[in-house]
Amino acid sequence: MVFRARPFSGGARNMADKPWLFRTYAGHSTPEASNRLYKSNLSRGQTGLSVAFDLPTQTGYDPDHVLSKGEVGKVGVPVSHLGDMRALFDGIPLAKMNTSMTINATAAWLLSLYSALAEEQGASLAELNGTTQNDIIKEYLSRGTYVFPPAPSLRLIRDVILFTTTEMPKWNPMNVCSYHLQEAGATPTQELAYALATAIAVLDEVKEAGVEGEVFETTVGRISFFVNAGMKLVTEIAKMRAFVDLWDEITATRYGVKEAKHRRFRYGVQVNSLGLTEPQPENNVYRILIQTLAVTLSKDARARAVQLPAWNEALGLPRPWDQQWSLRAQQILAYETDILEYADIFNGSAVMDEKVAQLKAEALEELARIDEMGGAITAVQSGFMKGRLVEANARRLAAIESGDLVVVGVNKYEGTEPSPLSTGEGSIQVVPEGVGEQAIERLKAWKDQRDQKAVDKALADLAAAAKEDRNIMGPSIAAAKAGVTTGEWGQTLREIFGEYRAPTGVGKAQKSDREGTGIAEVRKSVEAASATLGRRLKLLVGKPGLDGHSNGAEQIAVRARDCGFEVVYEGIRLTPAEIVNAALEEGVHVVGLSILSGSHLPLVRDVLERMRKEGLDDVPVIVGGIIPPEDERELKAMGVAAVYTPKNFDLTAIMADIVRIAEGAGQKAA
């Protein structure tokens, strides 16, 4: 496809553009605590809400489910029923708010709760303005909060789109989400291709439902995207301009959309959390600002909404002040600079045009490859896309290890003065340990006061709609009003659609032939240790709880395999009991637990207690995640052999540690 240059559109404007929506991604502990945070952020000039839900809510469980243990309120707010939604938005008129909800597998349910609350407030659905992320396809590749198999998941996306197109015309029913693809290691080409392949799969599904003509064009116009911006400033700007061109061309040529406004690439952004560093975290302020420029400088490809991570997210949960600091960066950029006063400053740039053309050509090649396979769903089920992401992430990490990719404060210029920003008591927000028990008590009280007959009828109607392929939204809104809980909604659909375990991508990732990073030396030590122990050194990599961020676990599994370990890795979302059972049955020498949700203390404690009961107390346990120093000390006091955090970027050095830990345990056992 030939690159179509944009026309040069002159210099200064008579009137400045309106700034994008200012958001901060927020929610934790309880609906009441999150409500206070939202009101505080709005009072400081935030212009839209971005709701973070906890992992049980994202995966369709109530707080009392076994998999919810330790996870309630940790990475977002728990919303189990309409009462929680009331508390979350108490005093916030939904008809006047632009709300983004980062929710995917349970998007239809949370939108139903939101709609039911809006009607309680006296608002009509047609007034509501906002977005549900609702991109379940990328969950199989990156974030891991999927629930159902791909086909019914695609059907749920379709149902939300068809419902909102007619009933909620201001609502964006889906963010096609490339953000988490970059977090999983995607190159700019992969980010373009895989996001667009997802959008094509969704629009094909809508077409097959019989939507045509003007209604279809309107539907296309409501699809938005949620993207990421990394540190390669020129490349990231070119990527966004390529997205604009490719979306315009795909919607025009593949789907025949005539109205230019419906072909517009509309997107929100959170800049790259993957690149935030634990060492010298104050440097993250500069990273965040540079990444924000990538999605705001080019007028023709400017974001419609921006939410920025806080500088200390690699350390733990940010405080309100940390979120305010990120909000101020947006406000200074929008109101103190002149970037909104000019036409696109990159039009006519030979350098930019060349880079955009290159990215478009590469993305179209990758899209053609996915098309030949049968589309995005087939590429997910076969493990093709996941394997490519694992490989790309492995190359990124290897470049950091070798120093080819410089990360200031991590692998270069490591000397530092102590930071007054990240030391001392209260330097990060801490979710109280008791929020899970409180949520269970609230859940019980909610169930005690509701009309059980109305609940039973609503769940029966929901099940019937699911079985009969009727739109799920009407029965879901009725269920929300009747008092149905998140776990009940999720379980009803699980019984009909089934559950799914996506390919891990570890088996598809090519083996490394790099010897210069110390892999050869570690292979020798693995061989020697295996000979001493009498069998191949075996490592179990486990992800207990609901944390679906599997990138770190996958890279540990791949590097261990490349170093000669026998690796047991069964993917995400395992109970402590399942992990201990696997350790017992597989006869592993070391158990490695990866937890990034902040639930490391209760989950690791549970695993260790179960291992002791099974007589596995001689098998060492190591833990990786976003773990504050005080928690690291507590984990080691429990008996954990080693703790690794984002500062431990040298995976081969970690492999060498594991060999020594296994040998030490073997000598003790002997």
Question: Which one is catalytic: 74, 543, 589, 600?
Answer: 543
Model confidence at 250: pLDDT above 90: yes
Question: Which one is catalytic: 549, 589, 644, 657?
Answer: 549
Name the nearest CA neighbour of 189 among 239, 135, 244.
Answer: 239
CA angle 453, 455, 456 (to 5 degrees): 65
Model confidence at 13: pLDDT above 80: no
Confidence of residue 424 (pLDDT cuts 50, 70, 90): low
Active site residue 179: yes
- Which of 2-6, 18-22, 241-245, 505-509 is predicted least confidently? 2-6
Q: What's the rounded Cα separation, in Å, for the pair 476 and 113?
A: 8
pLDDT of 512 reads 54
Model confidence at 468: pLDDT above 50: yes
Active site residue 207: no
Question: Average pLDDT, stretch 15-42?
Answer: 91
Q: Terminal CA-to-CA distance of the chain, rounded, Å? A: 66
What are the backbone dihedrals phi and psi of residue 544, each rounded to the nearest 5 degrees, phi first?
-80, 155
Model confidence at 11: pLDDT above 90: no
pLDDT of 12 reads 44
Question: Average pLDDT, stretch 61-86?
Answer: 96
Active site residue 180: yes
pLDDT of 430 reads 75
Contact assessment for residue 539 and residue 583, using Cβ atoms and an 8 Å cutoff:
no
What is the percent of the chain where pLDDT is above 70?
A: 95
pTM for this predicted structure: 0.90
pLDDT of 646 reads 87
Question: Which one is catalytic: 180, 299, 538, 600?
Answer: 180
pLDDT of 6 reads 40
Confidence of residue 7 (pLDDT cuts 50, 70, 90): very low
Question: Average pLDDT, stretch 135-155?
Answer: 92
645-662 pLDDT per residue, tens = 988 989 999 999 999 999
- Which of 43-47, 229-233, 358-362, 423-427 is predicted least confidently? 423-427
Question: Which one is catalytic: 38, 61, 179, 569?
Answer: 179
* Beta-sheet strands, E only, within 383-489: none
373-416 pLDDT per residue, tens = 999 999 999 999 999 999 999 999 999 999 999 999 999 999 99
Model confidence at 16: pLDDT above 80: no
Q: What's the rounded Cα separation, in Å, for the pair 436 and 617?
A: 28
Q: What is the DSSP letter of 643?
A: E
Confidence of residue 511 (pLDDT cuts 50, 70, 90): low
Active site residue 600: no
Residues recorded for the chain = 670
pLDDT of 273 reads 78
Question: Which one is catalytic: 25, 146, 194, 644?
Answer: 25
CA angle 169, 170, 174 (to 5 degrees): 90
Question: Average pLDDT, stretch 283-310?
Answer: 95
589-633 pLDDT per residue, tens = 999 999 988 899 999 999 999 999 999 999 999 999 989 889 999
Q: What's the rounded Cα separation, in Å, for the pair 561 and 583?
A: 17
Contact assessment for residue 539 and residue 588, using Cβ atoms and an 8 Å cutoff:
yes
Question: Average pLDDT, stretch 489-511?
Answer: 83
Alpha helices in 374-415 (DSSP H): 376-381, 384-402
Question: Which one is catalytic: 84, 547, 562, 650?
Answer: 547
Q: What's the rounded Cα separation, in Å, for the pair 564 and 359?
A: 37
Question: Average pLDDT, stretch 249-254?
Answer: 97
